Structure 1
Amino acid sequence: MAMHATSSDASAASVDAAEIEKFSKLSEQWWDPRGKMAPLHKINPLRLSFIRDAACRKFDRNARSLNCLDGLRLLDIGCGAGLLCEPFTRLGAQVTGIDPSATNIAAANLHAEKSGLSIDYRCTTVEELDPDERFDVVLAMEVVEHVVDVGAFLDRCASMMKPGGLMVVSTLNRNFRSFALGIVAAEYVLRWLPRGTHQWEKFVTPDELAQHLERNKLGITEQAGVSYNPIADRWSISSDMGVNYMVVAEEV
């Protein structure tokens, strides 16, 4: 995981209390690459490079530079314990990470302090942010499939973008393959994730996502599937968007 409501109304629109509780219990394990978040650690470098490269193309930066995101404001919605916030901070971005779970934010702050990084972590939702705040890059990575109202959530995400900014969204497609791989295999066979992490009916098809973005005058300028090779135990960018996928959205 446009809507312009009071914070209480907005929170009710997109935040699922059961989802918050579920991930709060996992917060202590966020930074353990061999623990329950191991799949996220394995896919994280792929997400990082995809977002970094998209931002560098958009803002005419050199992706090979160690401070290629210098000066850009980045918002990571549903940041968990900061697995994306920390590397983007190291690349020079001014990062704000938000999550409605206090324990996730506590874990994020603790790890950032140990790492000597200054990151603006907030225990809040995107709906509760100051509507006058704007960001160059807005991230919603593996979040939309956990909210109550996808349309309302994406409306609010879009409203946080600066003119000329970009949004990156990753989620799971909704079809038989995503049920078989994203739930049955990942949660019950391979046990990558705790049972009940995902609800198939909350998965979002690329067409549905595009429609929500278009309503906010955003167009998808880049899209990619994310595929897993069980033999190599490696994730890679793919043209197959049948299960996991990422999109870059910009003003049209």
Structure 2
Amino acid sequence: MTDAAPAPAPAPSTSAPASSAVEAELAKFAAMADTWWDPEGLFKPLHVFNPTRLAYIRDHAAARFGRDVTGRQPFAGLRLLDIGCGGGLLCEPMARLGFEVTGIDATEKNTKIAAVHAESSGVDVTYRCATPEALLGEGKMYDVVLTMEVVEHVADVDAFLASCGALVKPGGLLIGATLNRTVKALALAKFGAEYVLRWLPKGTHDWKKFVKPSEFAAGLRAGGLTVDDLSGMTFNPLAGTWSITRDLDVNYLVAAHKAA
């Protein structure tokens, strides 16, 4: 992390915003979109570690907003944005917890599949094919903003994180997740996951675009946020489960808030 002072969040623009999306990345995930909800398909790794991600989001949101997670819909009255929502694997559980959920993705096929699944599941989620920059241009803000496994796929990390931060309401929360740019991550998350275990299609990740925790934190601070927590997410191959740890070497999560 750096000690740079937080810069003010960028004001909503009325001009056409630049997009953080990368065309090659969009085409890659559009080709896989039909399998989002297949727990044994291409997105099996997301299904496996989804419970751990959900618990992290739930617990930090409960602490930030003083909510009791034992209630039926503990987050009723709060608005949540999931940036890079894919097929909606996080959106639907968040909606069931009471959030008013909007999921955006730069791949239209993903949002269409997500919308069909939500309707068939009886879950109220709004899906849009859009970028965070587009929402900024509309003056949107949310109590909780999620950017999970997205930042390693965007064209400009700092600009993307600034946009994410600007979408958080004063007093609100941002939760992010990505992969650390370490030799260990190269071995496990790139070669191990794609070529040895074949959890992911070859070419899913570009190790050079992995983001160090210090870089993620600096980008959030520049967007007007204060980082509250950095936690690792570690896989136990014997149990086949993920857990929250202090090991940030491969997968990690970040929680940050905007001052009220």
Do these two structures clear the TM 0.5 threshold for a shared fold by scoring above it? yes
Q: Residue 123 of structure 2 aligns to which amino acid in structure 1?
A: L
Deviation at 1:9, TM superposition (A): 4.5
> Residue 116 of structure 1 aligns with which residue?
122
Deviation at 1:217, TM superposition (A): 2.5
In the alignment, structure 1 residue 154 sits paired with structure 2 residue 161:
yes
Matched residues, number:
249
Rounded to whole Å, the distance in 2 between the matches of 1:157 and 1:46 is 22
Contact 1:76 1:85 in 2 (8 A): yes
> Residue 237 of structure 2 aligns with which residue?
230
Contact 2:102 2:127 in 1 (8 A): yes
Rounded to whole Å, the distance in 2 between the matches of 1:182 and 1:7 is 38
Query: Which residues of 2 match residues 70-219 of structure 1 at below 5 A?
Result: 70-129=76-135, 130-219=137-226
Give the SS at the match of 1:39: helix
Rounded to whole Å, the distance in 2 between the matches of 1:5 and 1:231 is 50
> Residue 5 of structure 2 aligns with which residue?
none
Farther-moved stretch of structure 1 (123-132 vs 108-117): 123-132
In the alignment, structure 1 residue 53 sits paired with structure 2 residue 59:
yes
Contact 1:166 1:249 in 2 (8 A): yes
Rounded to whole Å, the distance in 2 between the matches of 1:5 and 1:186 is 40
Selected match of 2:28 from 18, 22, 40: 22
Contact 1:7 1:128 in 2 (8 A): no
Deviation at 1:39, TM superposition (A): 0.6
Q: Which runs of 5+ in 2 are unaligned?
A: 1-8
In the alignment, structure 1 residue 38 sits paired with structure 2 residue 16:
no
Give the SS at the match of 1:177: helix
Deviation at 1:131, TM superposition (A): 3.9
Q: Report percent identity of matched pairs.
A: 51
> Residue 10 of structure 1 aligns with which residue?
18
Q: Residue 161 of structure 1 aligns to which amino acid in structure 2?
A: V
Rounded to whole Å, the distance in 2 between the matches of 1:134 and 1:181 is 36
Deviations 1:17-38 (A, max 9, x none): 1111111111110000011111
Q: Which runs of 5+ in 1 are unaligned?
A: none
- Greater relative CO (CA pairs within 8 A, separation 6+): 2
Q: Residue 208 of structure 2 aligns to which amino acid in structure 1?
A: E
Q: Residue 245 of structure 1 aligns to which amino acid in structure 2?
A: Y
In structure 2, do the counterparts of structure 1 residues 176 and 241 end up closer, same or farther at CA, with 3 Å as the change threshold? same
TM-score (structure 2 length as normaliser) = 0.93
Give the SS at the match of 2:230: strand
Q: Residue 77 of structure 2 aligns to which amino acid in structure 1?
A: G
Deviations 1:26-66 (A, max 9, x none): 11100000111111000101111100110000000012222
Rounded to whole Å, the distance in 1 between the matches of 2:215 and 2:49 is 24
Rounded to whole Å, the distance in 1 between the matches of 2:196 and 2:15 is 40
Contact 1:174 1:203 in 2 (8 A): yes
Rounded to whole Å, the distance in 1 between the matches of 2:21 and 2:196 is 29
Deviation at 1:211, TM superposition (A): 1.0
Contact 2:179 2:212 in 1 (8 A): yes
Rounded to whole Å, the distance in 2 between the matches of 1:135 and 1:50 is 18
TM-score (structure 1 length as normaliser) = 0.95
Q: Residue 146 of structure 2 aligns to which amino acid in structure 1?
A: L
